[in-house]
């Protein structure tokens, strides 16, 4: 039996930042918190005000803003051994954070009580009880995170439950069962959560980690057993292998179990990308629900089927989470892939028309040379245009040249590129410097084309990826270059392949500009 109301507690700004390589500025944290609140997250944990100046600054900024129904939470711990909460500086900082909710972590595993805290079970319970009581006396909603609860319960169930009873007796509003080491199995989480719900007199939440890749599954098992809150992070950020991923839990609750937790699930994909961008982390293209390939179809039979009936190979409508269907084209593609992909790009092709096998032959020939079009839709569109209509070239390359000079003695380095093009009836020769050969070539090409095609001035190269295709050839290896470009309205990707990395870059660069110009 599912609970009628389940709340979502986000800890991206605290637990999520414990992930290797993840760090947010104060302004980043405010922007993410605003995004989470707008999405409909119920509880937003801002950090630990007793741990660093950045988190203190966050709470100072948060107090200046309205958060609507969302509740900002300060995170901390129980008072220290042999101290009263009123005399503990970190507990005072929790009060001074000015949040309506305070979440405190407490030990519920005897191993930690004895060997990490170094106190008696009685003292541990005193620390929990008095800290909760003190925070409640200050008008706070108090959530207890029972750290290592599942490990503690398996070793000594009564002591683990006693830790939560101490909080409940002092007036805690909720106790959250934490699988802190991430090592519990589904049946354990379900059975222990069910027991805790039955024996404890307050609402129960769940906090899982992903060390066995069961973070999401364990959270759902706990909710099924009677928990009414799930804690997690956007994109599963967290220490070690990460926390329970809210971008998977939320759609599973809403779309699979029929439990509404946010008002507009179509904003989920955007939220996932936004947090990745501020974390400066590469988006996981294979992430369920929100990944770029979550609804991608490459096999010809699959592409043919989803063209007829999308749900034949899609468990949900991609748009329900703000994502979209993708038809991939490669040497494995059949005519259905080409027709479906071309249709997505605005080209109408019929099965059996001679253009379709012609496009397939060109794809397979180029992929044999090292090209891949799955991540380079703009290059694929240009390929289709060349097969269908053989458009007039926008310009003709006469020559280009690149030089790089570095003088160690004179502490001097420069990279210079020259480009000679024929645009219409005019030959144009330009020279430009750059930080490297690709940057210099880009500058020279722009200089040559902008007088005729001013829209190029708005184009910006946003990413540049290099992949060695034939690694066993050493420095003579074949190279694939993928360039992402944007005009701040649209983003597109192009690909170039050559034995020469500069030539591969040039080919991808030229296709980037040609794509934008062909689109009008």
pLDDT digits (tens, 9 = 90+) for 96-119: 999 999 999 999 888 888 888 888
Instruction: Please indicate, yes or no, whether residues 243 and 300 belong to a single structural domain of this protein.
Output: no
510 alpha carbon, distance to own chain's centre: 30
**Taking 80 as the threshold, does the pLDDT of residue 285 lie above it?**
yes
Q: Walk across the sheet containing 479-486 and list its strands.
A: 460-468, 479-486, 491-498
Instruction: Please indicate, yes or no, whether residues 40 and 187 belong to a single structural domain of this protein.
Output: yes
Instruction: Please indicate, yes or no, whether residues 17 and 137 belong to a single structural domain of this protein.
Output: yes
Instruction: Please indicate, yes or no, whether residues 203 and 329 belong to a single structural domain of this protein.
Output: no
Instruction: Please indicate, yes or no, whether residues 351 and 406 belong to a single structural domain of this protein.
Output: no
Residue 123 lies in a domain: yes
Instruction: Please indicate, yes or no, whether residues 360 and 406 belong to a single structural domain of this protein.
Output: no
Residue 349 lies in a domain: yes
* Interior/surface letters 173-188, b for 16+ CB within 10 angstroms, e for the rest: bbbbbbbbebebeeeb
Instruction: Please indicate, yes or no, whether residues 236 and 93 belong to a single structural domain of this protein.
Output: yes
Q: How far apart are CA 497 and CA 470, in angstroms?
A: 11
Quick count: other Cβ atoms within 10 Å of Cβ 484? 19
pLDDT at 311: 81
The last residue of a domain, from among 335, 369, 403: 369
The last residue of a domain, from among 452, 469, 490: 452
Residue 130 lies in a domain: yes
Instruction: Please indicate, yes or no, whether residues 126 and 224 belong to a single structural domain of this protein.
Output: yes
Residue pLDDT, tens place only, 234-265: 999 999 999 999 999 999 999 999 999 999 99
List Cβ neighbours of 291 (8 Å cut-off, separation of 6 or more).
283, 284, 285, 323
Residue pLDDT, tens place only, 134-171: 999 999 999 999 999 999 999 999 999 999 999 999 99
Q: How many domains does the chain have?
A: 3
The mean pLDDT of the chain is 90
Instruction: Please indicate, yes or no, whether residues 16 and 111 belong to a single structural domain of this protein.
Output: yes
CATH number at residue 411: 3.30.160.740
pLDDT at 313: 80
Full domain range(s) for residue 408: 395-452
Residue 478 lies in a domain: no
CATH number at residue 187: 3.20.20.70
Residue 329 lies in a domain: yes
3-state helix, strand, coil in the chain (%, to 5): 45, 20, 35
Instruction: Please indicate, yes or no, whether residues 160 and 53 belong to a single structural domain of this protein.
Output: yes
The last residue of a domain, from among 255, 287, 321: 255
Residue 430 lies in a domain: yes
Q: How far apart are CA 345 and CA 337, in angstroms?
A: 12
Instruction: Please indicate, yes or no, whether residues 186 and 250 belong to a single structural domain of this protein.
Output: yes
| 8 Å CB contact between 353 and 387 | no
pLDDT at 95: 96
Q: How far apart are CA 384 and CA 457, in angstroms?
A: 26
Residue pLDDT, tens place only, 191-243: 999 999 999 989 999 999 999 999 999 999 999 999 999 999 999 999 999 99
Residue 204 lies in a domain: yes
Residue 474 lies in a domain: no
Residue pLDDT, tens place only, 352-405: 788 888 888 888 888 888 888 877 889 988 998 888 888 899 999 999 999 988
Instruction: Please indicate, yes or no, whether residues 222 and 335 belong to a single structural domain of this protein.
Output: no
Looking at residue 314, the DSSP 8-state letter turns out to be: -
């Amino acid at each position: 039996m599912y609970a009628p109301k389940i709340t979502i507690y986000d800890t991206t700004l605290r637990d999520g930042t414990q992930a290797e390589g993840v760090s947010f500025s104060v302004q980043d944290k405010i922007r993410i918190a605003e995004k989470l609140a707008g999405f409909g997250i119920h509880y937003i944990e801002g950090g630990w005000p007793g741990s660093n100046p950045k988190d203190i600054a966050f709470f100072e900024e948060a107090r200046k803003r309205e958060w609507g129904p969302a509740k900002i939470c300060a995170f901390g711990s129980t008072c220290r051994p042999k101290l009263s909460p009123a005399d503990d500086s970190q507990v005072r900082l929790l009060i001074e954070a000015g949040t309506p909710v305070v979440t405190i972590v407490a030990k519920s595993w005897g191993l930690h009580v004895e060997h990490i805290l170094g106190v008696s079970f009685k003292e541990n319970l005193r620390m929990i009880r008095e800290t909760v009581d003190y925070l409640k006396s200050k008008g706070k909603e108090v959530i207890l995170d029972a750290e290592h609860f599942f490990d503690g319960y398996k070793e000594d169930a009564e002591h683990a439950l006693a830790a939560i009873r101490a909080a409940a007796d002092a007036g805690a509003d909720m106790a959250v069962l934490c699988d802190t080491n991430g090592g519990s199995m589904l049946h354990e989480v379900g059975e222990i959560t069910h027991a805790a719900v039955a024996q404890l007199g307050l609402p129960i939440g769940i906090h899982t980690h992903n060390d066995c890749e069961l973070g999401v599954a364990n959270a759902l098992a706990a909710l099924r057993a009677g928990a009414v809150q799930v804690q997690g992070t956007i994109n599963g950020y967290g220490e070690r292998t990460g926390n329970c991923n809210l971008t998977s839990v939320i759609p599973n609750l809403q779309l699979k179990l029929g439990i509404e937790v946010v008002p507009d699930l179509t904003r989920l994909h955007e939220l996932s990308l936004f947090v990745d961008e501020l974390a400066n982390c590469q988006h996981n293209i294979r992430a369920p629900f929100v990944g770029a390939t979550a609804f991608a179809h490459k096999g010809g039979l699959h592409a043919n089927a989803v063209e007829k009936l999308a749900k034949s190979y899609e468990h949900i409508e991609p748009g329900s989470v703000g994502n979209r269907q993708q038809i991939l084209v490669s040497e494995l593609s059949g005519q259905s892939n080409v027709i479906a992909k071309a249709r997505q790009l605005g080209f109408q092709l019929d099965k059996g028309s001679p253009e379709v096998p012609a496009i397939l032959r060109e794809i397979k020939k180029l992929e044999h040379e090292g090209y891949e079009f799955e991540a380079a839709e703009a290059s694929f569109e240009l390929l289709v245009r060349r097969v269908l209509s053989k458009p007039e070239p926008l310009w003709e390359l006469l020559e280009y040249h690149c030089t790089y000079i570095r003088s160690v003695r004179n502490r001097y380095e420069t990279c210079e590129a020259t480009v000679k093009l024929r645009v219409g009836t005019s030959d144009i020769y330009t020279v430009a410097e750059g930080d490297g050969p690709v940057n210099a070539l880009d500058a020279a090409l722009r200089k040559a084309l902008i007088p005729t095609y001013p829209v190029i001035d708005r184009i910006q190269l946003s990413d540049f990826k290099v992949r060695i295709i034939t690694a066993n050839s050493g420095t003579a290896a074949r190279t694939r270059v993928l360039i992402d470009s944007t005009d701040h309205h649209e983003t597109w990707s192009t690909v170039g392949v050559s034995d020469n990395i500069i030539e591969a870059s040039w080919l991808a660069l030229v296709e980037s500009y040609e794509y934008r110009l062909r689109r009008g």
